[in-house]
Amino acid sequence: MKLGREISGDGRFVRQPNRFTNRIEPDSPYPPGPGRYHLYASYACPWAQRSLIVRQLLGLEDIIGLTVVDPIRDDKGWRFTLSPGDRDPVTGASYLSELYHATDPEYFGRYTVPCIWDTQTERLVTNDYPQLTITLETAFAPWHAAGSPDLYPSRLRRDIDAMNDWLYGGINNAVYEAGFSRNQQKYEDAVTRVFTTLDRLEERLTTHRFLHGDQLTDSDVRLYTTLARFDPVYYSHFKCSIRRLTDYPALWAYARDLYQRPAFHNTTDFDQIKRHYFITQTNVNPSQVVPVGPALDWDAPHGRG
Ligand SMILES: N[C@@H](CCC(=O)N[C@@H](CS)C(=O)NCC(=O)O)C(=O)O
């Protein structure tokens, strides 16, 4: 993978900015509505799985289309080899990069999931993954299924935003900083931050069912996609190996509590996750050998009510 531009002079991984940041919102060039927008995602990717979970939790499957990319990227990036004829049924493209170049012929960064395509203008609207779940939770509210959870309730928005920022720096992106670091000290800084964050989360989830109390929110979705990958991938591949998720009783039970809900379970594919990281990230795993374990019982009773 092409990380060259994202490794700073001191060996630190600094993630590229999101290139497409238009918003789907009422009274804008991209108003929300059924059938117009199409999501491109990978089951392997934690940033993309957030949108997959939220789309299912809110019952938006018939409102926003979906194409899932092959978990294994080649040197031209994400491929549509899971779709009939190896082509995206919506655009006819073979590679996700074709959508990026159709939107901006000068685009030179990595071609990332998740992203949203507008079938009317035939352009990418956004690959701004932190905003994407919020958009599904707010702009698409008129199309949420009856009885679906309010993942971004007005009274908690400030707390959710603050928690999400803290999760990003402390764990969601910190595992990547540890894994992609080319400098011992920067790696140690990142890995220490990961485990300080997990220790604090363990304390919080010992007394709270979810991050913000009794109600499942957007923050839980963001934490879950990192926890699901922790023992199978980040522990070994990204060298986040001080402790395992399963060494934290409250966090491990919390992760199972979420996993056992259909929207989380249906979008968690451990095989695709492991094959993606271990085969595609040859900068970290040149042999491309995929580990067999770990054997984890995600279906064990969580005991959290
Ligand atoms: N959009 C963000 C985050 C999303 C992201 O990194 N997605 C990964 C998969 S987890 C991706 O699509 N990577 C493509 C690549 O590295 O070529 C970014 O630009 O870093």
Closest residue CA from atom 10 of ligand 1: 45
Decide yes or no: CATH 1.20.1050.10 for domain 154-265: yes
Which residues are CB-contacts of 215 (< 8 A; sequence separation ≥ 6)?
149, 150, 153, 156
- Which residue in the list 37, 43, 45, 187 is annotated as catalytic? 45
pLDDT tens readout for residues 32-58: 999 999 999 999 999 999 999 999 999
Distance from the alpha carbon of residue 114 to the mean position of ligand 1, in angstroms:
8
Active-site residue (options: 43, 152, 176, 277)? 176
Distance CA 54, CA 173 (A): 20
- pLDDT at position 305: 82
For the cut 70, the answer to whether the pLDDT of residue 9 exceeds it is yes
Tokens 């939107």: give the residue: 103
pLDDT above 70 covers a percentage of the chain that reads 98
pLDDT in tens, 200-242: 999 999 999 999 999 999 999 999 999 999 999 999 999 999 9
Ligand 1 site residues, Cβ closer than 6 angstroms: 1, 15-16, 18, 45, 47, 77, 110-113, 127, 129
* Mean per-residue pLDDT, 166-175: 98
Domain with CATH 3.40.30.10 in the chain: 4-143
ipTM of this complex: 0.92
* Intervals of CATH 1.20.1050.10 along the chain: 154-265
Pocket test for ligand 1, best of 110, 128, 237 (most atoms within 8 A of CB): 110
In the chain, pLDDT over 90 holds for what percent of residues?
Answer: 91
Helix, coil or strand: residue 125: strand
Confidence class of residue 10 from pLDDT cuts 50, 70 and 90?
A: confident
pLDDT tens digit string along 256-294? Answer: 999 999 999 999 999 999 999 999 999 999 999 999 989
Q: 181 by DSSP, 3-state: which?
A: coil
* 240 in catalytic set: no
The C-alpha atoms of residue 65 and residue 270 are separated, in whole angstroms, by 23
Residue 1's pLDDT is: 58
Helix axes 157-167, 218-229, angle to 10 degrees: 20
Ligand 1 atom closest to the Cα of residue 46 is: 10
Query: Would you say residue 95 has pLDDT above 90?
Result: yes
- 112 annotated to a ligand binding site: yes
pLDDT at 2: 63
Instruction: Report how far apart, in Å, the C-alpha atoms of 145 and of each of 136, 149, 245, 262, 275 are.
Output: 12, 9, 33, 15, 33
Architecture of domain 4-143: 3-Layer(aba) Sandwich (3.40)
Instruction: Give residue 95 CA to ligand 1 midpoint distance, Å.
Output: 15
Please tell me the distance from the alpha carbon of residue 240 to that of residue 248, in angstroms, as a whole number. 14
| β-pair type (65-68, 115-118) | unpaired
Return the residue whose CA atom lies nearest to atom 13 of ligand 1.
Answer: 112
Give the model's confidence band at 13: pLDDT under 50 very low, under 70 low, under 90 confident, else very high.
confident
Query: Is residue 176 annotated as a catalytic residue, yes or no?
Result: yes
Mean pLDDT, the chain, integer? 95
